[in-house]
Chains A and B, each alone.
Chain A
Amino acid sequence: MLSFLLRRLVLSAVVISAISVITFGLSHVAIDPASGIAGDSATPQDIALIRVQYGFDRPLPAQYLSYVGQVLQGDLGRSYLTRQPVADMIASRVGVTATLAGLSILFALALSVPLGVLAALRPGSGVDRLALTIAVTGQAIPNFWAGLLLILLFGVTLGWLPISGSGTWAHFVLPTITLGSFATPALMRLVRAGMIEVLEADYIRTARAMGLSERAILFRFALRPAILPVISLTAVQLGFMLGGSVVVESVFALQGLGYLAWQSMTRADMPVIQAIVLMISLIYVVLMLLADAINAALDPRIRAAA
């Protein structure tokens, strides 16, 4: 188990380094950082001066190394535009995004587990088809479109829920549905597939033969093994929630990390973009690592295979 975890840790470190190289490279190719700092009314002389002052004239690998050195010391740099430390900007927004991502994944689980179980009990039935329809629709509708449809119905026409902002819990209802419905389909299909497989297993037949109630079979013996793979997928989906929040937060005017990323992109505020991409990747990698570890702890075959 220990060597499995170590291998995974090393792999994660490699992934994070690769991501940091890519984001650093891309952000220096996309825009000249010196002209980004100098602003729109700067002369070429101003820009040349800034290039030297900030060390942008050095070779890229050297710049990358000093960037990594800073990041490792917890210094994510300062925003080109607000001059605030990027770490502070991220810290003040992470709460909204965490709330949204957490609520969305709970919503997705609350919807996908019962639906998946119901669909598995009667494959090919009306319930199964309904679940499939929900899955396909949820996956096919882009976030911003779904968000606007919900806004039109519940915010504008019915007037039941606030349209945008983050003042009260009611403000999180529509964004949670929007973002959560994107994660629902994959989770539900996995629950369904897992349940079908388990329900056909020999020990379930034995349980039935022993005269256990259908309810006990379902909840005490079938659901637990069937739901194992869902745990790791939930971790992956939580990562997607963080990425999806870029669009959803902008549509619903929630001022979280995703919105900060979007705003920074429109302003070419590279240090902020770089830090957010790095942070979300880091969270993603940690979640994957966690999921792998849980799976490995629960299933010896995975440990052996790795």
Chain B
Amino acid sequence: MFRPTRHMLLAAALALPLALPAGLQAGPADNSLTIAMGEELPGFDGYISTSRDGVVMTRHLFDMLIYRNPETFDYEPLLATEWRRIDDLTWEFDLREGVVFHNGDAFTAEDVVWTLNTYADPATGARSQAAVSWIDRVEAVDELTVRVISKEPFPAALEFIAGSLPIHPADYAQSVGLDGFAQAPVGTGPYKLGEVRGGDFTLLRNEAYFEGGGKGTPAIDRIDVRLIPDTATRIAEIIGGSVDWTWNVPADQIPQLDRLPNVTAELGTTMRIAMILLDSVGRANENSPLADVRVRQAINHAIDREGIVAALVGGSGEVINVPCYPLQFGCDTGAGVAYEFNPDGARALLAEAGHADGITLKMGSFRDRSRAEAIQANLAAVGITLEIEMLQARASFSSWREGQIDMWYGDWGSFSIADTSASMGNFFDGGANDGARDEEVTALLAEAARIVDEDARLAAYSEAIRRATEAAYWVPMHTIVMGYAYRPGLNFAAPVDEVPRFFLASWE
């Protein structure tokens, strides 16, 4: 069905040879950057503000102990200069000397100990408990040495330390309290918070930022962050020239935007995977046809994933056959059963399961209605009637977690953690995310997240992937691409982990 959308309106406008204003050129002229984000942050505490936009700001205001290079994926020094494993439970970090927080406080082991111990306590209310719950305690060995001790052997420890655990100044944070800190954050990061005007705010270059860390030295003096929730408005602003950078640009807009002389637009590959979760345990419906493995396999066969990726995802989006992101540690793409597009086979499987007359299922989704409708059409062709419930992201995910829908076509960014424990581990854990409740898969994943020996971990993940795909608990769909639009002359590299790093950006 043809439905004109706001994006089509913009597309039509873009197709006209517009007499474009020259652009304000404020960016390169005064070495500042105006970026437009779509989501208001609940605050600047990285342990509370864990949405994608929040993660981006956390990386600018704060530093972690170590840094993962977004290109090589190697760990590099940041607040820690060296680190070593002491035993299965313990990592030791030598801290950098002479680092100061934005308020002038010296950075010491005490700050690391206080920050990590505080947020590891569930009572503090860190939003992503997965990032901190593995920590048993953190101890200072001396002024510039700390030890992080996990409850159980935890192979993904460095991933979380590099990705999700910013260090706060202990004295200041205690004096202002958690809520005060979220409004007036102080970190060691390459940028410090300037003026805040509602949802808009300014980041100023930290002139005292230390040298020799993985983040390098920031080049841009000032970053003005503007909150513009509407995608079409963000695109209009970038064309109009008063915004220098934005993201979440729909894939179908990228080629047209890129043709404009004052805009560079590109699609970046991301770690985010899209998938359809199937409620095989029957939370939404006691007599769910999805309890039958043949029905789940039929759904896998019925969906033309290649076609959806080619027509509706675009860019470097790829079909995936496994319930994890292929570059994550442990994500053995060879271990999974791949279901090829085969509507006849799907119909046969449904008939065999006693559903020759067809079934009706309810699927929730949020990001892209056209993709959800493509799936609806694919399933209709084999006799499955799909009711679609489109909601906002969080409400949609909640309706899956609360067992109100048979299927959820969503996506997952793994908190940008390059380990299968952050993808598959999050959905087969026996918790609210888990619609399969396969104890064997859960046990295999729990074991893989605990053992330190890499080969044994890989073997456990491969076995979990084999079992989960044989039982067709998911329809693994595709990777998600991220659309970026920015001013030509800005040196910016689209990051695979969906965390743009403006401290690496510069004007030509």
Binding site for B on A (CB under 8 A): 30-32, 35-36, 39-44, 46-47, 79, 81-84, 92-93, 144-145, 148-149, 151-152, 155-157, 159, 162-166, 250-253, 255, 259, 262-263, 265-268
Q: Assess whether B233 is in contact with A156, with CB atoms less than 8 Å apart.
A: no
Residue of A nearest to B130 (CB): A41
Interface pair B233/A251, CB less than 8 Å apart: yes
- Chain B positions near chain A (C-beta within 8 angstroms): 6, 9-10, 13, 18-21, 39-40, 42-43, 48, 122, 127-130, 178-179, 182, 198-200, 226-230, 232-233, 236-237, 239-242, 392-395, 397-398, 401-402, 426, 431-432
Cβ–Cβ < 8 Å partners of A40 in chain B? 127-128, 394, 397, 401
A144 to B397, alpha carbons, bound, how many Å? 27
Chain A residue contacts of B241, Cβ below 8 A = 159
Q: List 24 A-B residue pairs with CB atoms under 8 Å apart, sorted by A's residue number.
A: A31-B398, A35-B432, A39-B129, A40-B397, A41-B129, A42-B129, A42-B432, A43-B129, A44-B431, A82-B43, A82-B182, A92-B198, A144-B230, A148-B6, A148-B9, A152-B236, A156-B236, A157-B19, A165-B228, A253-B228, A265-B392, A266-B395, A267-B392, A267-B394
Residues of A within 8 A of B21 (CB): 159
The count of A-to-B residue pairs whose CB atoms sit within 8 angstroms is: 129
Report the Cα distance A159→B398, complex, angstroms: 42
Cα distance A42–B126 in the bound complex, in angstroms: 10
Question: Inside 8 A of B13's CB, which chain A residues have their CB?
Answer: 152, 156
Contact of A44 among B6, B18, B130, B432 (CB under 8 A): B432
Q: Are A164 and B398 in contact (CB under 8 A)?
A: no
B6→A39 contact, CB < 8 A: no
Whether A30 contacts B395 by the Cβ 8 Å rule is yes
> Is B6 a contact of A144 with CB atoms below 8 Å?
yes
Pairs A-B, 4 closest by C-beta atoms: A159-B21, A82-B42, A255-B198, A266-B392
B392 contacts which chain A residues (CB < 8 A)? 265-268
Which of B40, B43, B48 has the most C-beta atoms of chain A within 10 angstroms of its own C-beta?
B40
Task: State whether B227 touches A255 (Cβ < 8 A).
Answer: yes
B179 touches A84 (CB 8 A): yes
The CA-CA distance from A265 to B40 in the complex, in Å, is 13
Asked whether A266 lies within 8 Å of B431 as measured between CB atoms, the reply is no
Cβ A162 vs Cβ B227 within 8 A: no
With the chains together, A244 CA to B476 CA distance in Å? Answer: 40
| A30, B392: Cα distance in complex, Å | 12
* CB-based contact A159/B179 at 8 Å: no
When the two chains form their complex, are residues B236 and A163 in contact, meaning their CB atoms are under 8 A apart?
A: yes
By a CB distance below 8 angstroms, the chain A residues around B240 are 155-156, 159, 163
Task: Name which residue of chain B comes closest to A254, CB basis.
Answer: B198
Which of chain A's residues has its CB closest to B229's CB?
Answer: A250
A39 and B241 alpha carbons, distance in the complex (Å): 38
Contact A268/B227 with A84-B179, A151-B233 known, Cβ cut-off 8 Å: no
CA A35 to CA B401, docked complex, whole Å: 9
Residues of A within 8 A of B122 (CB): 46
**Residues in chain B near residue A252, CB distance under 8 A:** 233
Q: Are B236 and A151 in contact (CB under 8 A)?
A: yes
Q: Are A31 and B395 interface neighbours, CB within 8 A?
A: yes
Measured between alpha carbons, how far is A36 from B18 in the docked complex, in Å?
46
Assuming A35-B402, A41-B130, A156-B240, is B229 touching A263 (CB within 8 A)?
yes
Contact across chains for A253 and B229 when beta carbons are under 8 A apart: yes
Expressed in whole angstroms, the Cα–Cα distance for A81 and B42 within the complex equals 6
* Interface contact B398-A36, CB-CB below 8 Å: yes
Q: How far is the CB of B163 from chain A (nearest CB, A)?
A: 14
CB distance from B326 to the nearest CB of A (A): 23
Nearest CB of A to B250, in Å: 14
CB atoms of B236 and A32 under 8 A apart? no
A45 to B105, CA, bound (A): 39
